[in-house]
Amino acid sequence: MALSLSGDDEEYDSESEQQRAANRPKPKMGTSSAVKLPSNRTASGARRRRTRCRKCEACLRTECGECHFCKDMKKFGGPGRMKQSCIMRQCIAPVLPHTAVCVVCKEAGKEDTLEDEEDKFNFMLMECSICNEIVHPKCLKVTDATGVVNDELPNCWECPKCNHAGKSGKVLKQKRGPGFKYASNLPGSLLREQKPVKEEGDIASAAKKRSDREETPRYRPEESLHRQPPLVSPSSLPRPRPEDKLRKKRKLFDDEDEDESQRKREKSDDPYFSKLLNQIKTEEDEDAFDEESETGREPHFHSSVERKGHFGDIEEEDHKDKNDLLNPCIKMPVGDSDQSHCSSPQAGPSSEGGSETQEKGLRPKARRKRRLPNRELSRELSKALNQEIQKTEDRLANENRQPVKVEPETENEEPKRFFHNGNEHGEQRPHLKPKEMNGTPWELRHFYPSQITPLGFNRSTPTSRPVPPRSPPKCVQMERHVIRPPPISPPPDRLPLKDGKTHIIQREVWMKIFCYLTHQELCVCMRVCKTWNRWCCDKRLWTKIDLNRCTSITPLMLSGIIRRQPLSLDLSWTNISKKQLSWLINRLPGLRVLKLSGCSWAAVSALCTSSCPLLRTLDVQWVEGLKDTQMRDLLSPPADNRPGQLDNRCRLRNVEDLRLAGLDITDISLRLITRQMPSLSRLDLSYCNHINDQSVNLLTAAGTTTRDSLAEINLSVCNRVTDHSLNFFKRCGSICQIDLRFCKQVTKTACERFIAEMSVSVPFKLKEDKLLQKTS
DNA sequence: TGAAACGTCAGG
DNA sequence: CCTGACGTTTCA
C-alpha cells in the first residue's frame, strides 16, 4: 500500500500509526488526506505522481467492467467513490508525468532526442525512490557513487546520493519505488520478501538482513526435496507414504514463514553466496544483467513432463538444486550463472551489500538495468488480448450457440505418463489420509478411464487423497494489487559478443530454436548469459506451465508464472492456497486453461471472486469438498447488490471444457451448468456417482445450450447411468464422443443399437468398449 | 490488515 | 474545465 512508498516508514509507521489507531475515530478526513503528506515527503521533497505509460498491455486493455473498481465507476453504474482504475488496467510501468522536470536544470527528459544508450540514460529523468528527487543523471554532481536503477519501474532509481549515503537499506522493507501502489499488499513475500532480494539482486544484503534476525533454523532446504507430490502411475498405484512428518504445511503467504524459510535456504548457502558475490562484482562490470535478473530468482518449478518436458526450472534459492539441474556440459562460469543475477544490484530498494558492488565510475553512473520493453511485441500482445476479450464478449452477446471448437490445448490433456522427480515408484504420498471420495478409490481418480485397470474397481481398496491444503481463513481480495509486469520479450536483438560485436543470429531466429527446447532446457539456457536469460523468458516459450503435483507452490513460483503469462496453467494436486490462486488469476488475464484437479475447495473457491475472462478449460476434478453448494458459488454471477449492478453473467461463462470427474455433484449443479455455460462443448463427469439418466436428460433437454454445444461427454464410471441415457444423446446436435466405459448399467448392446440408429445421420463407432465416437 | 473513501494531480 | 485515477488517509 501507500506505506510501501513512503521512505520513512519506520518512524511514521511504528509510532503514528499506532497512535492514530488509539485516537480513533479521527475527524473525518479531508484536509488530512490532501494537505498532510508528511509521510510521503522526505527531506528532499515530494514525490511526483506517476501516470500511465499508455503502452503496456494493461494500459491498452479495456475496462473489464467486472472488478471492484469498474463496478464503482459511474459508467458501470457505480457511485464513483473509489476512483480507481480497473484492475485489469493497472499500468505495469507507470511513468513520470510530462510535467516532470529535473530539479537541477529544470528541464524535461531528453532521452528521446538521443541515440546513444549512454546519453539516453544521462539525459533521461530519473526519480529517486528514496529522496524522490527527479534529476538527469548527468546533472548530478556526485562523482563518487553510482545510482541503482530500478528495473521494475521506468525512470526510477536510487540516486547516487542516497545510494552512497547508505539510505537504501532502510527502505528495503517497504520501498519499491514510486508508482507501485499497493505493493506492500502483495501476498506473501512476492514483493515484500522476495522482491527486495530479487531486485536488489543482492544476496549479501539478504544474508546480512538474515543474520540480523536471530533465528533457529527450522526449515531445511532438503526438506522440500523430500516432499513428494502425489505420485501415481498407471502401473503402480499410489500408496500412502508412511507418515510424513516433513509435510508441514507451509503458509505460503505467511510472511514470517516464508521469510524464514527463505532465510534458511539462504543461510544454508552462505559460503557459496559470498564466494559468488565476489565473482559477480567483476562480472558485472562487463555486462550487468538487466531485466529482472530472471534466472537467479527463478522458481524451481517441478513439473511433469509434457510436450516440452520438464518445465521451468531454475532453482529457487536452492543452489544444490541448481547444480543438479545444470547439465554438466552446459555449466558456465559461476559469475555468468543465474546467481549473478541474484547478486546484480537490481532495481529497487537496494541494499547495503549491493551498493558496494557499484563503486566505480567518475560520474554518476548506474548499473544499467533498465527495462527496455519490446514495445512492439507488447503492444501486439495487448491488442490481441483485447481483441480476444472483445470477440468473446461479442460472441456471447450474439448468443451464438454453435459448438465452439475446443482449443488445441487438448494435446496437453493426454494422461500424464511421467512424473517429475522420477522417484515416484514405491514412494508414498506424503500427505495422504485414508479417505475415499465419492466412493471411488483415490488411485482411480487420477486417471482417465483409459488407464483404469480392472483392478482399479476394487472399491474396498483403502484409499486416500491429499490432505487439502489449508487456505487462508478469510476470503482475500487481491484486486488492488499491482499486476506484475508480464514478460516482455527483451530487447537485444542480437547476442552481444566479447569483442564488442554481436552474434550473427538474430533473436527471432534464436527464438525459433528455443521453441524446440523443453522448459527445463530453457531454464538451463537462461543461465548461459544475460541475453539468453531474457530471451528464454519470452512468454511465447511458456504458453503452458505445468506444476502438476508440485506440492509446494512458493511465491517465487507464482511470480515466475506471472512473468511468463502462460495461456495454460496446471496446478493440479498442488497445495496452492486460495490467496495464491486468487493472486495468480487476477494477474493472468489471458489464461485459457486452468487445471486445479485434486486441489482443495478452499483454494478453488478463489475462482468465486476472481475473474478469468478468457478461461476456456477448467479442470476441477477430484477437488475435495466441491459439491453442489460449491458449484453454485462457482457458477454464480459475481455478487453485487449495489443498484445498477445487473451483471448476472457467470464468471466462467466462456468455459468450453469443464472437468468435474470425481465430484459429488448432482443435477442441481448440472442445471446450473446448462444455464451458465453456453459454450460448453466438453464435459467430464466421470466418477460422478450421483450422475444418472436424469442428469443426461437435463443436459440434453430442449432449450438448453448444452444440447447443441456438447460435443464430448465423459460419463465413464458413472454407475447410475443406464442404457436409457443413450436415447437422450440422440438429440444432441454436435455430439461426437460419448464415453460410457465402465458404466455398469450400460450394455454393449445398447451402444450398438445407438450406433445403428444414428447411422442414418451421424455415423458412430465403438472405439472401445462403450466408448462411442463419431467416425467422420 | 485490507477495503473504502477522497483530495487533488495529470492529461486532454 | 472535465475525467480519470494516484496516493494517501480512514474505517471496519
Highest mean pLDDT among A61-65, A177-181, A358-362: A61-65
Residue A757 counted as domain residue:
yes
Q: Stated in angstroms, how far is A527 CA from B5 C1'?
A: 47
A578: CATH: 3.80.10.10
A268: CB within 7 A of chain B nucleic strand: no
Helix axes A255-268, A270-286, angle to 10 degrees: 80
Reply yes or no on whether the pLDDT at A84 is more than 80.
Answer: yes
The reply to whether A185 Cβ lies less than 7 angstroms from strand B is: yes
The reply to whether the CB atom of residue A127 sits less than 7 A from any atom in nucleic acid chain B is no
Tell me: do A537 and A547 sit in the same domain: no
Model confidence pLDDT, tens digit, residues A439-451: 333 333 333 333 3
pLDDT at A753: 93
- The span from the CA of A644 to the CA of A531, in Å, is 51
| Distance from residue A474's CA to nucleotide B4's C1', rounded to whole Å | 18
Q: Is the pLDDT of residue A704 over 80?
A: yes
Domain membership of residue A552 as a residue range = 543-635+651-774
How would you class A332 by CB atoms within 10 Å of its CB: exposed for 0-12, middle for 13-18, buried for 19 or more? Answer: middle
Q: Which residue has the cell 451402444?
A: A751
Q: Torsions phi, psi of A682, nearest 5? A: -125, 130
Which helix (H) or strand (E) element contains residue A376?
A: helix A375-397
Residue A455 scores a pLDDT above 60: no
Length A171 CA → B4 C1' (Å): 27
Q: Is residue A674 predicted with pLDDT exceeding 90?
A: yes
Give the Cβ contact number of residue A735 at 10 Å.
24
Higher local confidence (pLDDT), A569 or A238:
A569
Same domain, A592 and A531: no
The Å distance, CA of A85 to C1' of C4, is 8
Q: Is there a single domain that holds both residue A583 and residue A662?
A: yes
Across A652-705, the runs of DSSP E, i.e. the strands, are 657-659, 682-684
| A32 nearest nucleotide via C1' and CA | C9
Tell me, yes or no, whether A743 and A607 share the same domain: yes
Domain presence at residue A247: no
Do A528 and A608 lie in a common domain?
Answer: no
- Of the residues A492, A518, A541, which one is the last residue of a structural domain? A541
Mean pLDDT (whole number) for A598-602: 89
Query: Do both A551 and A510 map to the same domain?
Result: no
The CA–C1' separation of A589 and C9, in angstroms, is 31
Residue A145 is predicted with a pLDDT of 67
- List Cβ<8 Å contacts ≥24 apart for A76-80: A76/A644, A76/A645, A77/A642, A77/A643, A77/A644, A77/A645, A77/A646, A78/A642, A78/A644, A78/A645, A79/A642
Tell me, yes or no, whether A23 lies in a domain: no
A719 versus A494: the higher-pLDDT residue is: A719
Residue A399 lies in a domain: no
- Higher-confidence position of A544 and A113: A544
Residue A555 lies in a domain: yes
Do A661 and A702 belong to one domain?
A: yes
Q: Which residue is nearest to nucleotide B8 (CA to C1')?
A: A34
Handedness of CA A93, A99, A105, A110 (dihedral sign): positive
For strand A134-135 and strand A126-128, is the pairing parallel, antiparallel, or unpaired?
Answer: antiparallel
A665 and A765, same domain (yes or no):
yes
The C-alpha atoms of residue A716 and residue A516 are separated, in whole angstroms, by: 36
Cα A692 from Cα A723, distance rounded (Å): 10
Residue A106 has pLDDT above 60, yes or no: yes
What is the spatial distance, in angstroms and rounded to an integer, between the CA atom of A40 and the C1' atom of C2?
28
Q: How many CB atoms within 10 Å of residue A580?
A: 30
Question: Does a structural domain hold residue A642?
Answer: no
Predicted pLDDT of residue A96: 83
Residue A430 has pLDDT above 60, yes or no: no
Q: What is this structure's pTM? A: 0.51
Looking up residue A523, the CATH number of its domain turns out to be: 1.20.1280
Mean pLDDT of A254-267: 36
pLDDT tens across A203-239, in order? 333 333 333 333 323 333 333 323 333 333 322 223 2
Max avg pLDDT among A334-338, A364-368, A424-428: A364-368
Contacts of A248 (CB under 8 A, 6+ apart): none
Mean pLDDT of chain A: 60
Could you tell me if A555 and A628 lie in one domain? Answer: yes
Q: Quick one: average pLDDT of A348-375?
A: 35
3-state secondary structure at position A365: strand
E-strand stretches of A486-535: 494-496, 502-506
- Check whether residue A3 has its CB closer than 7 Å to nucleic acid strand C: yes
**Count of CA atoms in the C-beta half-sphere (13 A) of A32:** 6
| Residue A750 in this model has a pLDDT that exceeds 90 | yes
A707 pLDDT tier (thresholds 50, 70, 90): very high
**Does residue A20 approach strand C to less than 7 Å at its CB?**
yes
Taking the C-alpha atoms of residue A691 and residue A686, their distance in angstroms, rounded to an integer, is 9
**Looking at the DSSP assignment, which residues form a beta bridge with residue A134?**
A127
A748 touches strand B (CB under 7 A): no
Q: Rounded to whole angstroms, what are the CA distances from A166 to A105, A347, A353, A520, A770?
A: 25, 15, 10, 39, 73
Nearest nucleotide (C1') to alpha carbon of A94: C6
Looking at the structure, do residues A579 and A533 belong to the same domain, yes or no? no
Nearest by Cα to A53 from A175, A149, A154, A178: A154
Q: Note whether A92 and A149 are same-domain residues.
A: yes
Q: Evaluate if residue A560 carries a pLDDT over 70.
A: yes
**Contact, A373 CB vs strand C, < 7 Å:** no
Please tell me whether any atom of strand C lies within 7 Å of the Cβ of A61.
no
Most trustworthy range by pLDDT among A104-108, A323-327, A450-454:
A104-108
Which nucleotide comes closest to A28 if you measure CA to C1'? C10
Nucleotides of B under 7 A from a protein CB: 1-12
A573 and A625 co-located in one domain:
yes
Residue A314, domain member (yes or no): no
Give the max Cα distance, chain A: 90
Number of structural domains (chain A) is 3
**Residue with the larger pLDDT of the pair A82 and A210:** A82
Task: Identify the residue whose cell numbers are 496452492.
Answer: A576
What's A161's domain CATH number?
3.30.40.10
Q: Averaging pLDDT over each range in A30-44, A373-387, A451-465, A522-536, which range is the top one?
A: A522-536
Is A323's pLDDT higher than 70?
no
Residue A449 lies in a domain: no
Report which residue is nearest nucleotide B9 when distances run from CA to C1': A49
Instruction: Provide, in whole angstroms, the distance separating residue A588's CA from nucleotide B10's C1'.
Output: 29
Residue where a domain terminates, one of A171, A197, A215: A171
Domain boundary among A171, A203, A226: A171
Mean pLDDT to the nearest integer, A410-416:
31
